[in-house]
Every structure is written in structure tokens, then in C-alpha cells.
Chain A
């Protein structure tokens, strides 16, 4: 983590308008991301972890300007992305690519997959047409597809192969950063491993940085160097992988680890889960004054319900908790 960050996010905030409460009511806003800071170093993977509604996807999409941010700064490769004109932003797009969760809805069903992979090259005007054709062939080989499959349509591929096509498309413009939004959660377990291994191999080969969104801590431990745990639009803990997994400090991180898949917890040995959280997260429209996790936290005390904990340095990472573990 000594390298200068490739991407540096400060105070990122995203609001979604919800419409007014009645004709003359005040327009309501839902604050989905509430002041998020993180750095992503070249060639590394930062995991954004959390449950549905924690704001992990919105954070990543706002950081690459695919969702409108309402505040904050994003420095990427020396440029302030939030200050760029749409034309300038387009020039930066080639360095910022995305792989989406659902390989069924993210590929145009009417295009041949060769054209899908080629499209970013055409849009960004990379090289000459002959060079682009060569590049597409190269990309197909790179992600483990055959060249003769370029003329097929997306429906002729399985889920794992479609995700390979998405990866080829993302790689087309030689990006420096790829946002991976739950890239394996829609796939069968056996296929997940193929895609995760592929992503790691490509990272090593091209020095890519990944912003990796996932709710599966097993997957995160396999692929991420640093991890930020999000809860209701905020980072509640951030650390490198060994630290976070060997010594979680936030009670929510501990709960997530407890809930993650493991083959060691056996019914035959009378396994009982410890420290299970009750209930669901509170509504983001009506957040409690103190710590957002207090209502589900096994360690919560009066102070937690009254005063919001700030994200503080622990030496090995950062945690937002009055009584870290």
C-alpha cells in the first residue's frame, strides 16, 4: 500500500430523490451513501462488502460516475472525475470498466458476441478497424473462449461463458480499473471458481486494479487485498485482508464472518452459531441518531444509541465503533 493510489475517494455522498410526500410536501431524499473515503492502489483489489441496501454498488458506481454523486471528490490517475466535462469523462472511460452481476441482462441479445466485445473499441476510437479485429480475437483467447464462437449470440452461451464475454468486453480498452459488481454470485459454484481464477490471472498479467463488490466473504477472502465493510451507506471497518479476517474489530464484521460459508461447522458436531444478529437493518429513511448498527448489535450500550461513532484508525486498519472488539 506504499504506491500512490490509482483512485482516491473522499467524502462520497449519493442521494436518491423519492418524490414528495403529497402535492405540497417537501421532496424526500434517501441518502444511500454517506461520506465514504477509500484509496485503491494500482494492481490491488479493494473489496466492498455488505448486505443488500448497504450502498456498496452505489458507492462503486458513483465513484466511476455511472451514478450521480451529490457530494465528494474522486481522484483517478491525477484527474478529479467529478469536475470533468462529459467529453473529458469519455476519454477517461477507457481506463474504467465494469463487469456486472447478471451476465444475462448485461449483454445485448441481438448482437453477436464478437461485436459486443468490439463495441468499446469502436466507441473509444481505439486503433484502426483491422487492429480492432485482431484485438477482439486476442481477447477471446485471453478469457478462454474460442475464436469461432465470435459469431454466436449471447443466448448460445452458458452463464459462465457469458461472464467471460463480459470480462473480454471490459478488458478491450486496456483499462486500469475494473469495477466487478458481484461478478460470480449468479453463477454455479463450480463455474464461480473458473471466473475467480480468471480474474486473478488477468490481474497478475495486466496489473489491473479491481473494485470488487460482494456479499460473500469466502469470495472476498480469495480475491481481495483490502476490504471495506459497509453498513447502511457507510464504511464501518476497513483493513487489509489478513487483519480483517484474523481480527475483525467491528461487531458487524464479526457477524458477517460468523455467517460466511465454512466446511468446519458440522451438524454432526452439534454446531451452534454464536452471536447471530436479530432482525433487519433499520430503514435508511429513518436512521437512528447513534450507530446505525446499534439496533442489531450484541454489544450495543447507551452511548451507541446516542452518539454516532467516527471511523478511527486502529493502527492496523480503521473502525467505526465505540467499543471495538
Chain B
């Protein structure tokens, strides 16, 4: 097997809050292999976006602190990298696209200028060459009339077009890793489908590895090779996408899969459909986490042992952190 492109090794991130120091990531370990798509899934507040920011060396400081572990990009620990080195990595080797393309683009520059800026920063090319690259990139991401659109301002483009511009900017320097944080959540379903297709085409063409952060199990099925499920700052289950979707072992993962209304073909009245599986309650605030399993309070299988002793991530077919892994009624 090839070496991983990026590895998190027992990564700890803490934040200063008005409740004192809380642990946002408590020992995350995962690998991203070259050319694959890794999904990170969980509810808001589970730490998935912080994991993405950490991979870019962008944990906001203050209030955030990387207090332990390593972030290895091609073997280099970027938690120890100098700011100058980090700036070279970001954009050129690791790029990111965000949920809301409107707020990530500068409203007072044309989209062409903004993509050209990224190219000029990282590549030794002339302004004219960069502008030519911009038009080619806009064509690559499926923007019609790319030469004209390069002169457009962000507000003149639709949400889907803006996300295409963000992707064009992200791939402008042929990065090896693309981190996509909920890239389609703000978009209409038909446009979501277009963006997913584009991301797959780009992966095939450029061989870029993608980390897809999402709460949508449908996106996981369609886009990813492997998945890490996060809860309250830890990875609680990890495996190939088929393992996680077909044979989820953690009650939380089962809940996440069971609670989405996915399309079936059943007939009859709406009232006759069985209710959706529910995960009761909400994600506990980080400052209230105890010694036991963080999910215990919402879990139907939890007992006193779960509330007292936190389950480690163990191999049980695939890695899962649950004393009762695989027990109970499958979702």
C-alpha cells in the first residue's frame, strides 16, 4: 500500500471558552491516501470542521490550540512548520472549498482576478499567462463563456456558479489534497448533483485526494471510498463506505443512517409509513463531557459501564468505539 498523503496522529485541539478550556478534538487519528475520497460525517459540533481546518494548519489561534499529536502531510509535520512554509503548502498542495461560496469570494474583485491572484502567488508565470489559465480553469469547471465570466463579479453569478469558481481556484495549482467542507449544503438539489459530478471528474482528471466533510449520508454513499464518523471530538467508527453504510456497528452511525428519509418506492398513505428512526436529544456541549461514552445519554443500548468507561476505538470487523458494537436492532 502507498504511503498516506496526509495523516493525523492522535491530534488534540483545545479551545478557550467562557466555560474554560474545552477539548474539541481528543486524539483523532486518520489517513488520507493519494487519489481517494475520505468522508468525515457527523452532526454540527462533532468536530468535523475543526478537523478540516487543522489539516490546513488553520485552527484559529486564539482561541484554539493544537495541544498534542501530529499532522503529517507527505511525512512533514505541519504543526511544526513555519508560517512561510504553511503558506506555500496551502493553495499549492492543499486547497479548501467552503460551504458558502458567497462569503468566501471577495465581492469587489472579479472572479477572474481572484483566481489569477492564487496562480500568481504560487506559480512563476506572467500576468497574461495567468489570465489564460483562468479562462481554461473556468472552462474545466463547466462555466459557459469562460472568457466573459472571468470578468464577472461574484454577485453576478448564481450559487452553483460561485461554487464552481471556488473549485476552479482550489484546483488552479493542481493540489494533491482538496478539503471540501459541506460544499453543496447551500445549493439546490439539481445544482448539488452538478457539483458532485464536477468533483468526481476533477478527481479522475487530476488524481487529487478529497476530504469531504458532510452530514449527508447520501453524499457519503455517492462520493466517498472511506468514512470516519465523528461524535463529540472523537472518531467513533471508521471503515470503507460500504462497511459503514451496509454494516454500521455504532448505535450513533445506525441512527444517522436510519433517520434520513431516503427515497424508497413504497405505496400507500404517508400516515401509514413507519416513523423515522430517531436519535433523541442533542450533541452534549463539550464542557459537559464526562469520563464515559459521550453518546451514552442518547443511546438506547447504554448501561452503567458505558457511562463510566469510555470505549476505545477497536477493530471489530472495522474500527468502532462502542462497548455494545453491533448489538441491538440494526437500523
Contact = CB atoms under 8 A, between A and B. Distances in A.
B43 A189 contact: yes
A260 B222 CA distance: 11
Contacts of A191: 43, 282
A158 interface: yes
Contact of B218 (A188, A219, A255, A262): A262
A221 B264 contact: yes
Contacts of A276: 190, 193-194, 197
Given A262-B221, A280-B158, A189 B192 contact: no
B278 A197 contact: yes
A265 B263 CA distance: 11
Interface string A13-43: 0000000000000000000000000000000
Question: For this complex, into which size category does the number of interface residues on chain B fall?
Answer: 35 or more
User: How big is the A interface, by class?
Assistant: 35 or more
Nearest to A264: B221
Nearest to B220: A263
Contacts of B268: 242
A110 interface: no
B217 A263 contact: yes
Contact of A218 (B188, B241, B263, B267): B263
Which of A189, A217, A260 has the most chain B CB atoms closer than 10 A to its own CB?
A: A189
Nearest to A43: B271
Contact of A217 (B189, B265, B280): B189
Contacts of B273: 222
Nearest to A184: B261
B47 interface: no
Nearest to B275: A197
Interface in B188-204: 188-194, 196-197
A192 interface: yes
B259 A217 contact: no
B37 A189 contact: no
Contact of A160 (B194, B215, B282): B282
Nearest to B37: A267
B286 to A, nearest CB: 14
A246 B268 CA distance: 12
Given A189-B216, A246-B265, A241 B259 contact: no
B268 to A, nearest CB: 7
Contacts of B2: none
Interface in B34-52: 37, 43-44
Nearest to A271: B222
Contacts of A158: 282
A266 B190 contact: no
A215 B43 CA distance: 21
Given A259-B189, A259-B192, A266-B242, A218 B259 contact: no
B20 to A, nearest CB: 20
A225 to B, nearest CB: 5
A216 B271 CA distance: 18
Nearest to B193: A259
Contacts of A222: 261, 270, 273, 276
28 contacts: A45-B270, A51-B191, A52-B188, A188-B44, A193-B261, A193-B276, A193-B279, A194-B280, A197-B276, A216-B261, A218-B260, A221-B264, A241-B270, A242-B266, A242-B268, A256-B190, A257-B263, A259-B193, A261-B263, A262-B221, A263-B260, A267-B222, A268-B225, A268-B242, A273-B193, A276-B197, A279-B144, A280-B191
Interface of B: 37, 43-44, 144, 158, 160-161, 188-194, 196-197, 215-219, 221-225, 240-242, 245, 255-271, 273, 275-280, 282
4 smallest CB-CB distances across A and B, nearest first, come from A261-B218, A193-B259, A222-B261, A193-B276
Interface of A: 45, 51-52, 158, 160, 188-194, 196-197, 200-201, 203-204, 215-219, 221-225, 241-242, 245-246, 255-268, 271, 273, 276-280
Given A200-B270, A263-B221, A268-B240, 20 more contacts: A51-B189, A189-B216, A193-B260, A194-B278, A196-B261, A196-B276, A204-B271, A217-B263, A218-B218, A218-B261, A218-B262, A221-B264, A223-B270, A259-B189, A261-B260, A262-B218, A263-B245, A263-B257, A267-B225, A276-B193
